[in-house]
């Protein structure tokens, strides 16, 4: 029992570290650095819509991280990937809901603050995500999970 608890604590700690390092930097630190005093006044409804989109993105990312830990026995990092293919929860609707969550976070920030550089940054990040998923992550998942991943890929779309 003690080994199982220490394994779960280790997994929790690794997920916390990778959450701070990856989506925390991409959707938190870098947009903050881009923004530093460069908000453009937007209509209140647009500002609050952006906040809602941002919150939805954060919730999606956190839900995916929990699923990776509980069902996949791994983390969101390619350096410490899941041991099992995660196909439940949000992964029933998209093969990449975590990336969608990060993009919603970025789009929410751009909407809420009206900063053109945040919009440009979000577009660059989406291109990077697309290229990474298409040419790095999908081939690795095919190698790691074989037919199970191929069947999943036939059932569920890459994005939406």
Interatomic CA distance for residues 96 and 160, integer angstroms = 9
C-alpha torsion 100→81→70→61, nearest 10:
-20
Domains and CATH numbers, the chain: 2-155 (1.20.120.1630)
pLDDT in tens, 82-95: 889 999 999 999 99
pLDDT in tens, 40-82: 889 999 999 999 999 999 999 999 988 888 888 877 777 777 8
Query: 73 near 11, Cβ under 8 Å?
Result: yes
Q: Which two tokens stand for residue 55?
A: 């919150």
């Amino acid at each position: 029992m003690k080994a199982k608890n220490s394994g779960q604590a280790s997994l929790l700690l690794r997920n916390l570290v990778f959450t701070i390092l990856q989506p925390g930097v991409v959707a938190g630190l870098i947009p903050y650095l881009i923004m530093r005093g460069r908000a453009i006044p937007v209509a209140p409804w647009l500002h609050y819509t952006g906040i809602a989109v941002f919150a939805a993105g954060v919730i999606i990312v956190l839900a995916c991280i929990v699923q990776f830990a509980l069902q996949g026995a791994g983390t969101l990092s390619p350096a410490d990937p899941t041991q099992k293919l995660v196909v439940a929860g949000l992964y029933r609707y998209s093969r990449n809901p975590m990336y969608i969550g990060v993009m919603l976070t970025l789009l929410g920030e751009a909407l809420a603050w009206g900063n053109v550089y945040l919009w440009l940054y979000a577009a660059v990040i989406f291109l990077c995500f697309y290229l990474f998923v298409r040419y790095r992550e999908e081939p690795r998942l095919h190698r790691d999970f074989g037919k199970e991943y191929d069947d999943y890929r036939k059932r569920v779309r890459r994005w939406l």
